[in-house]
Amino acid sequence: MRTKNHNRSKARIIRALHTRLLAWFDTNKRDLPWRRTRDPYATLVSEIMLQQTRVTTVIPYFERWMKVFPTVESLANARLDNVLKLWAGLGYYSRARNLQKAAQSIVSRHGSKVPSDVTALQTLPGVGRYTAGAVASIAFNRVAPILDGNVIRVLSRLFLIEKDTTRSDVRDTLWQLAETIIPHGRPGDFNESLMELGALVCLPGSPLCEVCPLTQVCEAKRCGKSAELPVLRKRKPVRDVIQYALILQRGHQVLVRQRRDGELMAGLWGFPRFKSVRLMRQRFPHLAITRIGQIVHSVMNERITVCAMAASANGESPLSGHGDTEWVTIRKLRRLALPSADRQLADLASKPAVRYGQDHHQQHGATMSAGSRPSA
């Protein structure tokens, strides 16, 4: 009897998904720039950008990207520096590198046409099962399931899945469920409607059940467990990290370095960073170093406080053996591919108190003696 009831409930939910959800989507979907086209390349770009990034953040980046790299060929042939610069501030920079590699693969192996098959899409760098399903269904109307954070939340509540959704076996079950429920008609719209419901209504913690088109068939709503689902493994605790960025000046220029392959944010430029002032002084023992401020940013589960340390070069050589380094003006610095944190450091470097160099700081009694250490 329980199995029969379960099957009847599942069938009711699927019918509601195919009718009520699509009707709700037609009326309530947001006007997003990538929804105004079915260009597979634009769909691919948007899906890569939307990975772990909010829609409101992505919109201006997507619009700028499509102006600079309007075709897969233009991206494939671009300089990596230009690609990273356009991506700067969006985070997770491996996505930009992989997106260009995917474009190069599309040009060389697929005749400059984004493949429509899920299996072929998954051979592209940076394209996993979710992205392949999204591109295939949205751009090519292929019947291909998707599973992202929004969809996991919606399905967990609708079908009352009370197991840890980060477990591989539970994730497999969710993929099978996503494959079961997708209709042959309008599969792309259906996938987008699931994501849209999760983004606008079926919210984490406090779902808006009173306006949900599926509230009458939702098992979690019936059991009073909507706010408890999905079950997720506890996140790693945030770890506080302190770094020291050296703003080393030579006249109207500052020293920057390009991060090497294998480093976090490889290929991007920024101010040299050190784990401690002691290490900074070991490399530049004769510098009069001044702390001019600090910024705080987050990367994964780390909250990083970057202390900005300014000094005048006074004939000191660049960081030999410390990656690619270059002396640049502040004006040129702003044209480089810089992460958001280094853009904030560049703002500090452009202030008059920094540009005037060591003598100006000494007048204000701010110069640190050897062995002194700034507070966090």
Domain boundary among 228, 250, 279: 228
pTM over 0.75: yes
Is 251 found in the same domain as 186? no
Pairing status of strand 269-270 against strand 253-258: antiparallel
- How high is the pLDDT of residue 356? 41
Is 210 found in the same domain as 288? no
Which regions of the chain does DSSP assign to beta strands (E)? Answer: 239-250, 253-258, 269-270, 273-274, 290-299, 302-312, 324-329
What DSSP designation does 231 have?
B
Is 127 found in the same domain as 177? yes
pLDDT digits (tens, 9 = 90+) for 123-157: 999 999 999 999 999 999 999 999 999 999 999 99
pLDDT digits (tens, 9 = 90+) for 80-113: 999 999 999 898 999 999 999 999 999 999 999 9
Domain boundary among 201, 228, 255: 228
Is 204 found in the same domain as 244? no
Question: What's the domain count of the chain?
Answer: 2
Contact indicator for 368, 290 with CB cutoff of 8 Å: yes
- Asked if the model's pLDDT at residue 374 lies above 50, the reply is no
Q: Is the residue at 24 inside a domain?
A: yes
- Catalytic residue chosen out of the listed positions 47, 192, 196, 219: 47
Going 96 to 151 to 63 to 341, the CA torsion angle's sign is: negative
Alpha carbon 257 to its chain's center = 23
* Annotation says 47 is catalytic: yes
Please classify residue 113 by burial: count the beta carbons closer than 10 Å to its beta carbon, then call 0-12 exposed, 13-18 middle and 19+ buried. Answer: exposed
pLDDT digits (tens, 9 = 90+) for 276-286: 999 999 988 88
Is 188 found in the same domain as 281? no
Q: How far apart are CA 133 and CA 188, in angstroms?
A: 9
Is 304 found in the same domain as 357? yes
Is 54 found in the same domain as 195? yes
- Provide, rounded to the nearest whole percent, the portion of the chain with pLDDT above 90: 72
Q: How far are the Cα atoms of 46, 176, 177, 222 from residue 170, in angstroms, in the given order? A: 28, 10, 10, 22
- Asked if the model's pLDDT at residue 372 lies above 70, the reply is no
Q: Is the residue at 372 inside a domain?
A: no
- How high is the pLDDT of residue 44? 99
Lowest mean pLDDT of 10-19, 196-205, 212-221, 297-306, name the range.
Answer: 297-306
Q: Is the residue at 371 inside a domain?
A: no
Contact indicator for 290, 354 with CB cutoff of 8 Å: no
Is 174 found in the same domain as 255? no
Cis peptide preceding 237, ω within 30 of 0 = no
| CATH number, domain with residue 217 | 1.10.340.30
For the chain, the distance separating the N- and C-terminal CA atoms, rounded to the nearest angstrom, is 64
pLDDT digits (tens, 9 = 90+) for 27-73: 999 999 999 998 999 999 999 999 999 999 999 999 999 999 999 99
| CATH number, domain with residue 298 | 3.90.79.10
Alpha carbon 274 to its chain's center = 25
Is 191 found in the same domain as 126? yes
- How high is the pLDDT of residue 178? 98
Contact indicator for 266, 260 with CB cutoff of 8 Å: yes
Q: Which residues have CB under 8 Å from 53's CB, separation 6+? A: 90, 91, 92
Q: Is the residue at 233 inside a domain?
A: no
- Asked if the model's pLDDT at residue 319 lies above 80, the reply is no
Is 195 found in the same domain as 87? yes
Q: Is the residue at 345 inside a domain?
A: yes
Domain boundary among 176, 202, 228: 228
The DSSP annotation for 294-348 comes to EEEEEETTEEEEEEEEEEE-TT----TTSSEEEEEEHHHHTTS---HHHHHHHHH
Is 261 found in the same domain as 196? no
Is 216 found in the same domain as 268? no
Task: Give the structural domain span for 25.
Answer: 2-228
